[in-house]
């Protein structure tokens, strides 16, 4: 079973340390949350794992592959998929073209295999009916499904979701939760960072809580909810799932 691991990550900006020796693990087929107050260092930690921000210290690896110094596109080839919060589909391309643009980077697939994979993804995410629609014409929910299907077109071992619940209506939240569960059932490891604590803890099996750049708790949602430090600095005494 593949494991994505971050060890003792550190990052400073202009002499101020924003991440101090943070580590986490995501196993294939598991859902993990990375949470914390604004300015806690969770987003910087997440971006270091994605490859958007270089770490000052520490190590990031997939199994025995050290990916700490690799650019994003190289990490993608080794199995890391990334879904940013903002729209990432090509607005002037059709859904079909959006997926094919990724599939064409997979040199191990011939034309027939690419077509088959594309059609399977359209079926899997119930987007066959919009295959010829341009990205700019999609609803928010449709766009998210296409983005996730496109991420899967690269055949990742892990998908890193940045704020998947941000600005989303309650019906779409349920839809996103189902998709995240579907990714897990596919054997993909999912790492989520989101300001929406309730929705994230509801869907993840393990959570890491960061405050003032340091890891203050990790474990099951129940464990971190009952952690006094987490309640004192982040959730408050009245918080309930």
DSSP secondary structure, 73-111, as one string: HHHHHTTEEEE-SS--S-TTSBHHHHHHHHHTT-TT--H
* Contact criterion met (CB below 8 Å) for 57 and 10: yes
Question: For residue range 34-73, what is the model confidence (pLDDT) as tens digits?
Answer: 999 988 999 999 999 999 999 999 999 999 899 999 999 9
DSSP secondary structure, 5-22, as one string: EEEEEEEEETTEEEEEEE
Give how far Cα 94 sits from Cα of 35, 49, 55, 87, 132, Å: 35, 30, 37, 15, 5
* Contact criterion met (CB below 8 Å) for 5 and 61: yes
Tokens of 217: 């708790």
- SS3 of residue 212 by DSSP: coil
* Contact criterion met (CB below 8 Å) for 48 and 213: no
Average pLDDT of the residues in 86-110:
93
User: Where do the domains of the chain lie?
Assistant: 1-79+157-241, 91-155
Q: What is the pTM of this model?
A: 0.92
CATH number for the region 1-79+157-241 comes to 3.40.50.300
Question: For residue range 164-199, what is the model confidence (pLDDT) as tens digits?
Answer: 988 777 888 888 899 999 999 999 999 999 988 999
pLDDT band with cut points at 50, 70 and 90 for residue 144: confident
């Amino acid at each position: 079973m593949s494991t994505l691991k971050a060890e003792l990550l550190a990052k400073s900006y202009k002499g101020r340390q924003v991440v101090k020796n943070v580590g986490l693990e995501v196993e294939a087929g598991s859902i993990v949350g990375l949470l914390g107050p604004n300015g806690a260092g969770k987003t910087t930690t997440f971006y270091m794992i994605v490859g958007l921000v270089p770490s000052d210290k520490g190590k990031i690896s997939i199994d025995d592959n050290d990916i700490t110094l690799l650019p994003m596109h190289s990490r993608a080839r080794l199995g890391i998929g990334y879904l940013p919060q903002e729209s990432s589909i090509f607005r002037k391309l059709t859904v079909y073209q959006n997926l094919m643009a990724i599939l064409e980077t997979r040199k191990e697939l011939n034309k027939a295999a690419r077509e088959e994979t594309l059609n399977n993804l359209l079926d899997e995410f119930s987007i066959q009916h919009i295959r010829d629609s341009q990205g700019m014409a999609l609803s928010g929910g449709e766009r998210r499904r296409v983005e996730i299907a496109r991420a899967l077109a690269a055949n990742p071992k892990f998908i890193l979701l940045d704020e998947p619940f941000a600005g989303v209506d309650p019906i779409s939240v349920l839809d996103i939760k189902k998709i995240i569960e579907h990714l897990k059932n596919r054997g993909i490891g999912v790492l989520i960072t989101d300001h929406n604590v309730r929705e994230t803890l509801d869907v993840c099996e393990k959570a890491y809580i960061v405050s003032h750049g340091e890891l203050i708790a990790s474990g099951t949602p129940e464990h971190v909810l009952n952690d006094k430090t987490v309640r004192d600095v982040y959730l408050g005494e009245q918080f309930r799932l």
